[in-house]
Structure 1
Amino acid sequence: MVSPKLGIISVLRLVPFLFINNNKSDAASYYASGLHGGSAEVAPFASQKVNLSVYYASLSQPCATFIVKNLEEIFHSDLINIINLQLVPWANAYVNKTNQSIICQNGPDECELNSVETCALNVWNDVSKHYALIYCFEFLAIEGRHKNWKDCFSQLDLPKEPVLNCYTRGNGTEIGKKYINETAPLKSLPLVMVNDESIGKLHAMQPSFGNKFYKR
């Protein structure tokens, strides 16, 4: 058993190195290993997990880099077994008080992707599912192919209907307004918090990926 204190130490030790360019964790090897496999080497106290919250915007390059290149380390190292991971999109967006529409820092495409990601987060309780899908979206964002986000469902063999139904009904946007209240203008993104304490400003390195993760 891993104590909550040791769990916190593990996360805090991990975070400062999350932006180091680790050649062993490129997108291809990540996809090959999968999020659903592997043994659970760390057995946590279920009610005493460490809360790790990531506040981000879907088309922010530093945020995409963190989610794709760095955050996946908690799955490979089994830290996910002692972590409650909470992804919170819509950072630095705001609600237009005149018509109640949402304005996103990086334009309408970001609002769309924020909404879809919000739906994934709320449709699936399985963190490995919604993280895998968001990983795929953000990978496309890094490559400038974010408009192809629907391809991610077939790439990952995930059912698209629940997420698309949520999105077309506007539920992702409505939930997004609640997220916006949590993500008042932030000086830098992503904002990473461990047990409600910010770990400070993060400096991302540019990721270096192969081309095997997605079919071209």
Structure 2
Amino acid sequence: MVSFSPKPAITIVILFIFIYESKGSDDDEISPLLVANQNNNNNNKVNLSVFYESLCQPCATFIVKDLYEIFNTNLINIVNLQLVPYANSYANLTNNSISCQNGQDECILNSLESCALNLWPDVGRSYGLIFCFEFLAIEGRSNKWQDCFDQLDLPRAPILNCTTGNGTQLAKRYIDETTKLNPPHSFLPWVVVNNQPIAQDYANFTYYVCKAYKGIPVPEACNSIH
């Protein structure tokens, strides 16, 4: 089992991201497939998409350890981040059910995370909750997911209402988004930069983001990229 323990300084920064209050209403719903394409003041932003499953250990490690670095640096300023759960799941149209690669527990976490992305499109807030879920998955304690709401002082009612309301429809959207990948994904996490998969080099995504970025000024995080 993978073990990852954030350094104290990193934990403090992450917690700051977690408790950041979104200016929008918790009841406002925005399509998760539109989050990465929201209008912004920097038209040169790079689209960074991560296709994953919530109980996939390499996925959890990437989200907690590697992807966090875009918040720990100024790379987030040039990135449109899109997280896509349910990447290896299946929608049964006959009985309107969802089957997940690692069973029902994974479907529960996938649903919680998709609802967080849909209800809280602010990247800091939704990623913060997902980080907490995935950290528990790494530690083998994914069934303690409710603790994340208490630890981060986030309301759970909007998320739980979403999972019991339109959770299945969100799952189908994400599954459909995954089926549109060209080329199709062959493992997870599947990381795509401006529609180009970076395959096995996904942990080195910063290099590809910086290479794709055409704006000015260049973020400090890109200065060491050659």
* Moved segments of 4+, more than 4 Å: none
CA contact (8 A) 1:57 1:63 kept: yes
Is the alpha carbon distance of 1:172 and 1:28 closer, same or farther for their aligned partners in structure 2, counting shifts above 3 Å?
Answer: farther
Residues in 1 aligned to 2:105 and 2:8: alpha-carbon distance in whole angstroms: 26
In structure 1, distance between residues paired with 2:100 and 2:44: 35
The answer to whether the aligner puts 1:33 opposite 2:13 as a matched pair is yes
Partner of 2:174: 179
RMSD: 2.3
Q: Is the 8 A contact 1:190 1:202 kept in 2?
A: no
Give the distance between the partners of 1:92 and 1:186, measured in 2 at CA: 9
1:70 Cα deviation from its structure 2 partner: 0.7
How much does 1:95 deviate?
1.3
Shift of 1:201: 1.8
3-state secondary structure, aligned to 1:74:
helix
SS in 2 for 1:52: strand
Matched, 1:149 2:149: no
Supply the distance in 2 between the matched residues of 1:28 and 1:191 (Cα, whole angstroms).
29
**Alignment TM-score, normalising by the size of structure 1:** 0.75
Could you tell me which amino acid in structure 1 is paired with residue 161 of structure 2?
Answer: N
Shift of 1:28: 3.9
SS in 2 for 1:114: helix
Aligned to 2:215: none
Q: Which whole-Å CA distance do the structure 2 matches of 1:181 and 1:28 have between them?
A: 39
Q: Which amino acid is the alignment partner of residue 33 of structure 1?
A: V
Q: Is the 8 A contact 2:190 2:202 kept in 1?
A: no
The change in CA–CA distance for 1:119 and 1:106 in structure 2 (over 3 A counts) is same
* Alpha-carbon distance between aligned partners in 2 of 1:84 and 1:74, rounded to the nearest angstrom: 11
| Corresponding residue number in structure 2 for 1:196 | 195
User: Which aligned pairs between 1:1-216 and structure 2 lie closer than 5 A?
Assistant: 26=6, 28-34=8-14, 35-36=16-17, 45-169=41-165, 171-184=166-179, 186-202=185-201
- The structure-2 alpha-carbon separation of the partners of 1:167 and 1:28, relative to structure 1 and needing over 3 Å to count, comes to farther
Percent identity of equivalent pairs: 58
- Judge conservation of contact 1:59–1:141 (CA < 8 Å) in 2: yes
* Shift of residue 160, structure 1, vs aligned partner: 1.4
Within 1, Cα distance between the matches of 2:11 and 2:161? 26
**More displaced 10-residue stretch of structure 1: 133-142 or 194-203:** 194-203
Whether contact under 8 Å (2:191, 2:202) holds in the other structure is no
Q: TM-score, normalised by structure 2?
A: 0.71
Give the secondary structure class of the aligned counterpart of 1:85: strand
SS of the equivalent of 2:185 reads coil
Structure 1: segments with no counterpart, 5+ residues: 1-20, 38-43, 205-216
The C-alpha deviation readout for 1:158-184, integer Å capped at 9, x for no partner, is 121211111122x12211101101223
Identify unmatched segments of 5+ residues in structure 2. Answer: 20-39, 204-226
Distance 2:44 2:116 in 1: 25
Contact 2:53–2:85 (Cα < 8 Å) also in 1: yes
For the Cα contact (< 8 Å) 1:92–1:186, is it kept in 2?
Answer: no
Aligned-partner residue type, residue 199 of structure 2:
G
1:129 and 1:118 map into 2 onto residues whose CA distance is 13
Residues 7-55 of structure 1: CA distance to partner in whole angstroms, max 9, x if unpaired?
A: xxxxxxxxxxxxxx9x9x8254322123449xxxxxx952221110000
Alpha-carbon separation, structure 1, partners of 2:168 and 2:161 = 13
Aligned length: 175
Contact in 1 for aligned 2:87/2:175 (Cα 8 Å) = yes
Contact 2:112 2:160 in 1 (8 A): yes
